[in-house]
Amino acid sequence: MDVKDVRNRAGQLLSLEGKVAIVTGAASGIGRGIAARLAEMGCAVAVLDKNLEGGMETVAEIERSGGMAIAIPCDVRLRSDCREAVSRTIAAHGRIDILCNNAGIVLRKDVLALEEEEWDAVLDVTLKSAYLLSHETIPHMIRNGGGAIVNTGSGWALKGGPKAASYCAAKGGLLNLTRAMAIDHGKDNIRVNCVCPGDIDTPMLESECHQLGENPEQFMKEAASRPLHRVGTPGDVANAVLFLVSEMSTWITGAHLVVDGGGLA
């Protein structure tokens, strides 16, 4: 096999032609990056977000690049919204091959400062949503003969962080949910993995800086202390997700892939 054949084979392994994906929290940030990358590789994408305007912007970006996407308003905390979103995706495309449970929120507070409703909000958006969407999607994957699920965790799924009690709890739970789902649904040819980003240049990271009274620009400069001397981009995470949902990773399940520029090294 010559170099050209190898390159063609690599392209085939990464191709998502004919696949259909759901990406939550896809109105901006990491979710938008994931949706755009999957569409770039030939996947039809259902863009789920409570922010319909942002979701439409993601769809427009994908369509400008020649991809296919639909925006579906969805409050991922609600079973009814999740069920409706999955039903609309099936009605539009007839199948679901990929689910990216990416939606999440962060409140930078310790347990003393957290109100009960704040705890519930973080856990519901970040952790419960993955259960709800998986519950609705997995039966369709089983009927199709398999699929791939990627949950967006965090470096703080693997270690604690300051003033982020609810976020650390949610992401830690999401990582172990990933393992449990991988065990349960391996027999169905459904692979379940978790990508664990570090600090990524997104509106969420900017919000964290403001919550902590920090200057976002100064924070970005201080990020140069990482081994790779920068914060990450949504594209960095999207590339990892592409690997985990593609034919490149057919014997990988129940795993987590850290994408943090060496921050945990």
pLDDT at 109: 97
Per the residue annotation, which of 37, 93, 128, 167 is the catalytic one? 167
Q: Report CA-CA distances (Å) from 179 to 133, 143, 184, 192, 207.
A: 16, 22, 9, 7, 30
pLDDT at 6: 59
The DSSP bridge partners found for residue 196 are 258
Q: Domains, the chain, ranges and CATH?
A: 13-105+125-160+174-258 (3.40.50.720)
pLDDT at 3: 63
Give the strand pairing for 256-259 and 190-197: parallel
- Residues 189 and 258: their CA atoms lie apart, in Å, by 24
Q: Report CA-CA distances (Å) from 213 to 46, 110, 199, 210, 219.
A: 36, 15, 17, 5, 11
Q: What is the DSSP letter of 232?
A: B
Residue 131 bears catalytic tag: no
Q: How many residues does the chain have?
A: 265
pLDDT at 11: 85
Q: Which residues in 41-77 are b (16+ Cβ under 10 Å) and which e?
A: bebbbbbbbbeeebbbbbbebbeeeebebbbbbbbbb
Q: What is the DSSP letter of 179?
A: H
Residues of the chain with pLDDT under 70: 1, 3, 6, 223-224
pLDDT at 7: 73
- Residues 126 and 104: their CA atoms lie apart, in Å, by 4
Q: Report CA-CA distances (Å) from 108 to 48, 102, 213, 232.
A: 25, 19, 11, 20
